[in-house]
Amino acid sequence: MPVQLTELQRIKTSGARAVEAFTVAGRELLAIPQLAYDAAGTATGMNGGDSDTELLLFERVDGELVPFGELPAPGGEDAEFFTIGEEAFLAVASLRTGSGPYRFAVDSTIFRWSGEGFVPFQRVPTYAAKQWRHWRIGDRDFLGLAQGVAFPGNESENLESVVYEWNGTSFVEHQRIPSRWAYNWHPVTIGGQFFVAHAEHLGPSVLYRWNGEKLEPHQTLAAESGRAFASFSDGSGIYLVVACIGAPSRVLRWDGETFVDIQTLGGLGARELAVVRVGGRILVVRVNFILGMKAGKAADKIFAVSNASASLLRRELRQHTLGQQKAPVRPVLAGDDHRERGACTRIERVALKRFHRNRAAGLLLRHGEDFGVHGTVGRVPLFKLPRSVGQHERRRRIHLCEAREAKTVSLVRAAEPAQSRAVRHMQRRRIPPVSRGKPA
């Protein structure tokens, strides 16, 4: 029999990213971190807005949630309530600050309950923080931070996920977890052994095991695009659900040593999971987010011809168009903060040609911090070429790019001698060669 949900109340929020329900000092509270407010004069979108926001606190009074207070928490992404002894804390993950361009290097705040409300307790330097998660091993308390985002140019400032430990007065760094774009933690204890799953977007999501001193890799749970986990027991076994945004969700069962796949849940775009028990039934709730990439789903690898002027490229590739297919207009693939941007003042359409079934030649121009995609032919993008950039500047700014499904673009500037040689080579041949180069 289907479970029926009844709406009880609506709460006005802006860019709400999570909810955290908890009880402290006899009060039933609800915390709602907010990513951004709508910014006047700018387009409304999930990747825009003013991120100098507050976390909302509500208290349950006579069956209704009423405002209890606000906490400064810019770019709020998640909140975690936990207790250590008699102390109560609320850790808030801040993704970013500003209203564009955004800063991902921002302090995330851990608040402490003062008896009447939450007050700042400790500020932790973070980078695109996604989630805090508290766990206890024996008499030791830990706080895991999932963080990071990868895009061209931020390699030096991006941060790995970190596990902090409570030393009696504050949280201190205990261990770093290899990652570039992390989202989630999920602790689980099995037969007296402690495990914690870590969700990573650009690499494998890994189940770690506590060896008495630190966490060590135990099992890979997903190859990439990991987002969230949920676990439950039905009395006969222990199960782990793995959610990925770019792959189907999977149900795994513990076999005594590792988790093994037993079921695949259809659909893509999973972002969050929860387990609910109702009337003796176990329900898994999956929240789906988005599909594909910000500029539509692109080919696995796209290489840009890095050594020719725009006019020469158009002349050489015009004779190698992909039939009469028209290129639908899609959002712009952004640069530093991966926001969707508006169109350039004028667009020159460049036909792309597939080479050896899995390559495509095209032109990618870096104009400021924007990388423009005009549309697609099949699954191959057409790039926007800003007319405002002069011919000399075009040649200087042409880059080699390799675009991956993982939403990252690696760039390297071609040397002038290599440009000259490639131009002469293209003039001798109708189909230009594709240089893979070495990604930055």
Check whether 297 has a pLDDT greater than 60.
no
What pLDDT score was predicted for residue 41?
80
Phi, psi for residue 395 in degrees, rounded to 5: -60, -40
Tell whether the model's pLDDT for residue 351 goes beyond 80: no
Q: 276 and 321 share a domain?
A: no
Confirm whether 434 is domain-assigned: no
Prior bond to 101 cis, omega within 30?
yes
> Is 337 a residue whose pLDDT tops 50?
no
* Claim to verify: residue 196 and residue 283 sit in the same structural domain: yes
The answer to whether the CB of 187 falls within 8 A of the CB of 208 is no
Domain boundary among 240, 255, 288: 288
* β-strand pairing of 118-127 with 171-177: unpaired
Residues 235 and 343 in one domain: no
Residue 151 near residue 409, CB atoms below 8 Å? yes
- The pLDDT-based confidence of 293 (bands split at 50, 70, 90) is low
Same domain, 267 and 373: no
Residue 73: φ, ψ to 5°: -155, 80
Please tell me whether residues 390 and 241 are part of one structural domain: no
Sign of CA dihedral 308, 311, 315, 320: positive
Residue 208, strand partner residues: 196, 217
355 assigned to some structural domain: yes
Q: Is 312 left (phi over 0), alpha (psi -120 to 50) or beta?
A: alpha
CA 171/CA 180 separation, integer angstroms: 22
State whether 217 and 248 are in the same domain: yes
Q: What is the pLDDT of residues 70-100, one digit of tens each?
A: 999 999 999 999 999 999 999 999 999 998 8
Structure confidence at residue 5 (pLDDT)? 84
Task: Give me the pLDDT at residue 222, please.
Answer: 97
HSE-CB for 324 with a 13 A CA cutoff: 0
Domain count for the chain = 2
Task: Check whether residue 284 and residue 314 sit in a common domain.
Answer: no
Three-class SS state of 304 = coil
Domain containing 52 equals 20-288
Predicted confidence (pLDDT) at residue 405 exceeds the cutoff of 60 = no
3-state secondary structure of 335: coil
